[in-house]
Amino acid sequence: MRLNDRPRRLRRNRLIRELVSEHGFDIKHLIQPYFVTDGSGVREEIKGLSGIYRESVDQLTRTLAEDRALGIDKVMLFGVTERKDTEAATSRDEKNPVVRAVGELKQKFGEDLFVCADVCLCAYTDTGHCGVTVDGEIDNDRSVEALTDMALALSRAGCDCVAPSDMMDGRIGSIRKALETEGLVNTVIMAYTAKYASTYYGPFREAAKSAPGKGDRKGYQMDYRNRTEALRELRLDEEEGADIVMVKPALAYLDVIADFKRRSRLPVAAYNVSGEYAAVKLSAQAGLVDEGAMVFENLTAITRAGASIILTYHLRDILKNEWHYA
């Protein structure tokens, strides 16, 4: 054959492939999630999320010292508590394990650790819903007030970045306004902008003890049949003062990530969620796939779609096992 063009020429060996590779993710753009709980001396592995723990503040500080040595310097904190009520009081008071953790971590690690915290009520409401229930319904505006108070409590404790994951209308604007009013001008808002009602959150809800007792989250999280609607949420979060916009989950929503990348001038983040992590872990544990290779393929796909920031439970394993592009 006399071919004019042979694409395989650029795939011949590792160095050529490296030279022409178009995309790759950067470890420095990854954020590791942690679950913080009440008490002291607590460190329990989460069923369904092997390698991920629920830890009390003292333990978390120790874990972070080790993880910092591995190379982790950007974290996302989630609260887990039994103190739940109708008003989600623990989300904003001094007993909130995340507020306490933020204070400790910033005192210990200062500028050497970038601390993000999830802002949502589901770990603190007795219903397990992300908003406050009034007369049997999730009251949007009442929920936004509570979420704003929670974001303020975190920011006052020194949190570098607050990440509202509740999907109530107007929460980004309300939080931004409150932060500005208090002079907390350096707090980054990473908005869970297009957060879909997803089966992929299964292991997380077990981890955070935040599964809704009754009903589902379809009244506030997005319907996975919708793509254009994500652009409406994007416009709102941009107008309301978000610094970073997020798509969640990641792997089944690469089209939405690509839309955000094209339409927005803000950094785009993607959340490689608990169900995506568990799928990889379980396949690897069953001996069906090479875990490191699958993690690299997944994180590269998310990057290729347009995300420059990825929240992923895999970060610690990548560093520990020194996984790399093969």
Which entry of 74, 84, 195, 281 is annotated as an active-site residue?
195
Is 248 catalytic? The answer is yes
Shortest spacing between CB 28 and Zn ion, in angstroms: 28
Rounded distance, CA 157 to CA 147, Å?
A: 15
Whether residue 221 contacts residue 195, with contact meaning beta carbons closer than 8 Å, is answered with: yes
Q: Which does 205 bind (CB under 5 to 8 A by kind): ligand PBG, Zn ion, none?
A: ligand PBG
Rounded distance, CA 71 to CA 66, Å?
A: 9
> Pick from 124, 204, 260, 296: which binds ligand PBG (CB under 6 A)?
204
Structure tokens, 173: 């604007």
**Which residues are within 8 A (CB) of 154 and not within 5 positions of it... i.e. 6 or more apart?**
98, 99, 102, 117, 119, 162
**Site track for ligand PBG across 257-286, x = CB under 6 A:** ----------------xx------------
Q: Which does 125 bind (CB under 5 to 8 A by kind): Zn ion, ligand PBG, none?
A: none
> Pick from 56, 133, 165, 174: which binds ligand PBG (CB under 6 A)?
165
How do 161-164 and 309-312 pair as beta strands?
unpaired
Shortest spacing between CB 122 and Zn ion, in angstroms: 3
Is 195 catalytic? The answer is yes
Give me the torsion for CA of 75, 253, 289, 283, rounded to 10°. Answer: 80
Which entry of 248, 261, 281, 320 is annotated as an active-site residue?
248
**Which residues are within 8 A (CB) of 124 and not within 5 positions of it... i.e. 6 or more apart?**
79, 81, 83, 84, 85, 88, 89, 90, 91, 96
**Is 130 a binder of ligand PBG (CB under 6 A)?**
yes
- Applying CB under 6 A, the residues found at the interface with ligand PBG are 118, 120, 122, 130, 165, 201, 204-205, 217, 273-274
Instruction: Give catalytic residue positions.
Output: 195, 248
Residues that bind Zn ion (CB under 5 A): 120, 122, 130
